[in-house]
Amino acid sequence: MTKILAIETSCDETAIAVLEVKGLGISKSFRVLSSVVSSQVALHKKFGGVVPALAKREHQRNLVPVLLKALREAGFLELESKNTEPGKKSVNNSKFIILNSILEREPELLSRIKKSVLNISVPKIDAIAVTYGPGLAPALWVGVNFAKALSLIWNKPVIPVNHLEGHIYTNLLPVNWKIQNSGFRIQNFLFPALCLIVSGGHTELVFIKKYGSYKIIGETLDDAAGEAFDKVAKMLGLGYPGGPKISKLAESFKIKNLKFKISLPRPMIKSNDYKFSFSGLKTAVLYFLQFHTEFLKSKAGKAAVACEFQKAAVDVLVSKTIRAAKEYKVKTLMIGGGVAANKLLRERLASESKNKLLHTTFYLPPTNVTGDNALMIGIAAVFGKNKKTRRELRAEPNLRLGS
């Protein structure tokens, strides 16, 4: 049995999870002991998007409280006692010097660690998993340095994890998964598999030969799908993050409302490859609104735009994904990333894969883990590519999944 503490700070969520893995190979099973996510959305909202320097500051503030909460919920939080290995005593002078240098650029985090983490017993975990890319450099570095510091204090190895692998492996959780009934056996994927990753920073189709082996068969040439949702939401005055807001508003639109007619392009839907482009779609919305300002004056007008934009984006994503699944003859199809919470995308992919892909099983991740979280990082630490622990670990903002 292995227990993993996982850390995620690649963007604007500070997250830590503790999970227990039993068994070997495909007969593995998990128990989620805790999964804590502290979102910074309210802070970044004012700026209409994530501000990297602010994200770094918030991660520094949040990591220790989130850690303590995750350990407490997992039943691993013990103050120093005679019978347990104390954190403080395991840090001698030379370790103190290293600790200071690891967190040289995160002084606030360093002082929080000295105040609280050194006073707790070494938790009964076997390894620390951490996202080391892709993501915002200042945000990633805080998590990486925090993992290094904990590794030094507790004498545990660090497993570096690619954030996108985390999104892929949320599909191992049953679609109706809830943290309350956290014990589960993993689903058995048949390979080869295909995953459509759709998030705020990425849109790519990933061919998965086996666990940990990836090839990107197509990706966006410009904006990511989530980015386009966020930018269009901004044009409609809906606020950040825009994905869920567009989706909700689009649902309120009555197709029969002939007063508000709008038709947007489906960029690259017919191109003979698996590349995407969402920047053109976003610009098409911008131009449309410049010429049809009346759409911005009522909820129905905005809903018409949200509905057509969402349909256009989903049409392109679904059409290319289904075509790729056919061409590559995959046995498993899945989606991951923040936009994988989108109801229309989930419904359309489910129905089209049922009708058009007779030999492919389609998986959907539970919607409570499509956004950034640390549980997915812990799962990917077990199934992903980077199983090796590393001494020299760096944040890699442009890390890729494969060629």
Binding site per annotation, positions for substrate:
197-201, 230, 243, 342
Which residue from 87, 372, 375, 397 is in contact with ligand KG4, where contact means CB under 6 A?
372
Looking at the Cβ atoms of 58 and 372, the one nearer to Zn ion is 372
Total number of residues binding ligand KG4 (CB under 6 A)? 19
For the four alpha carbons of 188, 192, 198 and 202, in that order, the dihedral sign comes to positive
- Partner whose binding site includes residue 284, from Zn ion, ligand KG4, none (CB under 5 to 8 Å by kind): none
Q: Which of 382, 185, 380 is nearest to 399 (CA)?
A: 380
Euclidean distance between CA atoms 249 and 370, whole angstroms: 20
- Segment interacting with ligand KG4 (CB under 6 A) among 23-31, 119-127, 296-304, 337-345: 337-345
Which residue from 62, 131, 199, 342 is in contact with Zn ion, where contact means CB under 5 A?
199
Euclidean distance between CA atoms 234 and 296, whole angstroms: 12
Euclidean distance between CA atoms 317 and 196, whole angstroms: 8
Is 20 a binding residue for Zn ion by CB under 5 A? The answer is: no
- Please state the closest distance from residue 228 (CB atom) to ligand KG4, in A: 8
Looking at the Cβ atoms of 123 and 242, the one nearer to ligand KG4 is 242
- Please state the closest distance from residue 37 (CB atom) to ligand KG4, in A: 10
DSSP 319-369: HHHHHHHHHTT-SEEEEESGGGG-HHHHHHHHHHHHHH-TT-EEE---GGG
Please, are residues 6 and 169 in contact by the beta-carbon 8 Å criterion?
A: no
Residues of span 189-208 touching ligand KG4 by CB under 6 A: 199-201
Kind and range of the H or E run holding 66:
helix 52-74
For the four alpha carbons of 95, 392, 172 and 339, in that order, the dihedral sign comes to positive
- Partner whose binding site includes residue 130, from ligand KG4, Zn ion, none (CB under 5 to 8 Å by kind): none
Is 106 a binding residue for ligand KG4 by CB under 6 A? The answer is: no
Q: DSSP character for 181?
A: G
- Please state the closest distance from residue 93 (CB atom) to ligand KG4, in A: 40
Residues of span 98-127 touching Zn ion by CB under 5 A: none
Beta strand 203-210 pairing with 213-219: antiparallel
Euclidean distance between CA atoms 82 and 107, whole angstroms: 31
Is 341 a binding residue for ligand KG4 by CB under 6 A? The answer is: yes
Is 365 a binding residue for ligand KG4 by CB under 6 A? The answer is: no
Which residue from 241, 301, 365, 384 is in contact with ligand KG4, where contact means CB under 6 A?
241
Start-end of H helices in 204-342:
225-235, 242-251, 279-291, 299-327
Looking at the Cβ atoms of 120 and 225, the one nearer to ligand KG4 is 225
Is 243 a binding residue for ligand KG4 by CB under 6 A? The answer is: yes
Is 372 a binding residue for Zn ion by CB under 5 A? The answer is: yes
x/- letters, 201..240, toward ligand KG4 (CB under 6 A): x------------------------x--xx----------
- Partner whose binding site includes residue 60, from Zn ion, ligand KG4, none (CB under 5 to 8 Å by kind): none
Q: Which of 377, 391, 387 is nearest to 11 (CA)?
A: 377
- Please state the closest distance from residue 339 (CB atom) to ligand KG4, in A: 4
- Please state the closest distance from residue 4 (CB atom) to ligand KG4, in A: 21
Q: Which of 157, 130, 188 is nearest to 14 (CA)?
A: 130
Please, are residues 334 and 193 in contact by the beta-carbon 8 Å criterion?
A: yes
Which chain residues interact with Zn ion by CB under 5 A? 199, 372
